[in-house]
Structure 1
Amino acid sequence: MQSFIHHHKESSEASSKATQGHVIDLGWRYDLMLWWQNILSRGKWQELQQHIADLAQFQPGETVLDVGCGTGTLAIIAKQHVGAVGRVSGIDPGLKQITRARSKAERAGLSIDFQVGVIEQLAFADQSFDVVLSTFMMHVMPDDLKRQGLAEIARVLKPEGRLLVVDFRRPQEHEEQSERPVHTGPWQSGVQDQPALIQEAGFLQIESGEIETGTTKLPEVGFVRARKNQ
């Protein structure tokens, strides 16, 4: 989008959108926090973003939606992969997050459609996207909201479109206590809880696994990939 469109959107979006999930809306302070996390982890957080892009298997010309895009870091990486012909959109309930994302995309000279929005009501037409991403956000939502969001994701995905969920792992009861930090949100949710909900939403070819970050400074991370049924 051109900068004048961005300015118009910012003036028309008076506040963050209400949602049942926990909202982080820090803008540039969020990026500062992640910059410091990247320093503490010796660059592993930045490497993780590239690993997520590899898991998404972006192809030139694809249409991508990043749900819960934060300040737009992954959406910018996606746009670099799909190229000028591809289209990337990002939504987040936090106005400061979206304002920051638009600023970063503009500085990078990339056309990305960032909107204030919520997962339970995606403002896009049916079958609009080849790929939908959800990274580090499912753990801050109750299960009923996850179900609503996954139904919306299925609606906007094209037939056989791909879903990638990346989130923090919830420690299992039988596992020894780790020195790693734990981020499971107020609902004690982990990425290992996602495959059943994704299958319930009608997705197929579901695969899951862990992402090795190579540091104890970051929580344990996992992923779930799936395809929409035709």
Structure 2
Amino acid sequence: MHSFAHHHYRKSGEAQTGVTRGHVINWGWRYDLMLWWSDLMLHGKWQALQQMIVDLAQFHAGETVLDVGCGTGTLALEAYARVRPTGHVAGIDPGPRQITRARSKAKRASFPIDFQIGVIERLVFPDHSFDIVLSTFMMHVLPDGLKRQGLSEIARVLKPGGRLLVVDTRRPKEHDQSGRLVHTGPWNSGVQDQPHLLQEAGFSQIESGKLETGETRLPEIGFVLGRKLS
């Protein structure tokens, strides 16, 4: 998961996965410190939002889960707590420090989560590997072509009947005077673009909606949930 603070982004040139055209956060433990501080300032609203995401995902014991753009692994750890002991969770992120931090947190929790340096456009997993794939607060930092490529890869690694949950910020309506934070990335991307992109990638039974945080210091946030039927 990514935060809504201002970040310095860099291009990824990680040797194992090649170059990604998306932006990369690579802060490691400093990233978790920033999220902790943000949550403190927001009176716990960030943790409450994470619980909303977990509830939307509807994890079941024994499921296989992939968190794409897993950051420092916080959501992946929450997922494993719900699919254990027979389930399996993997997480990929192009930021080496993010993955190092995620592995450290999983080790402390004694959670056997498979964290790997990786990019959405080249998922290093076999076809039909996962019951659910998560993408939280990362699609807005990808150009549209990369979104399509990534969604195609996600569809490939999902089992028939598997589901994809995308949570991201909404692009404000034109002439929006609410004064809320805008966090749409360099491509002015919004989660409201996702239903069409999921449909293009072969997903169906697509649902979408808003996540109400009750916090005007956060941007508007929405979700899209789709299923791969075959």
TM-score (norm 2): 0.92
Aligned residue number for residue 59 of structure 2: 58
Amino acid at match of 2:173: Q
Aligned mates of 2:227, 2:92 — CA distance in 1 = 21
- TM-superposed deviation, 1:36: 1.1
1:174-213 → structure 2 map (5 Å cutoff): 174=175, 176-213=176-213
Amino acid at match of 1:36: W
Aligned residue number for residue 220 of structure 2: 220
1:162-177 → structure 2 map (5 Å cutoff): 162-174=163-175, 176-177=176-177
- Measured against aligned partners, the alpha-carbon deviations of 1:8-65 in whole angstroms (never above 9, x if no partner) come to xxxxx76885200011111011111111110111100011111101000000000000
Aligned mates of 2:197, 2:17 — CA distance in 1 = 27
Find runs of 4+ consecutive structure 1 residues off by over 4 angstroms: 13-17
- Specify whether residues 107 and 16 from structure 1 end up closer, same or farther in structure 2 by C-alpha distance, changes over 3 A only: farther
Aligned residue number for residue 28 of structure 1: 29
- Whether the 8 Å contact between 2:73 and 2:102 is mirrored in structure 1 is yes
The reply to whether residue 88 of structure 1 matches residue 89 of structure 2 is yes
Aligned mates of 2:209, 2:120 — CA distance in 1 = 24
Question: What SS class does the counterpart of residue 49 from structure 1 fall into?
Answer: helix
- Whether the 8 Å contact between 1:17 and 1:94 is mirrored in structure 2 is no
Aligned mates of 2:216, 2:112 — CA distance in 1 = 36
- Whether the 8 Å contact between 2:129 and 2:159 is mirrored in structure 1 is yes
Aligned residue number for residue 123 of structure 1: 124
Amino acid at match of 2:142: M
Aligned mates of 2:35, 2:195 — CA distance in 1 = 27
Alpha-carbon RMSD: 1.3
TM-score (norm 1): 0.92
Aligned mates of 1:99, 1:15 — CA distance in 2 = 15
Question: Structure 2: which 5+ residue stretches go unaligned?
Answer: 1-13
- TM-superposed deviation, 1:78: 0.2
Question: Structure 1: which 5+ residue stretches go unaligned?
Answer: 1-12
Aligned mates of 2:20, 2:88 — CA distance in 1 = 26
Aligned mates of 1:31, 1:44 — CA distance in 2 = 15
- TM-superposed deviation, 1:145: 0.1
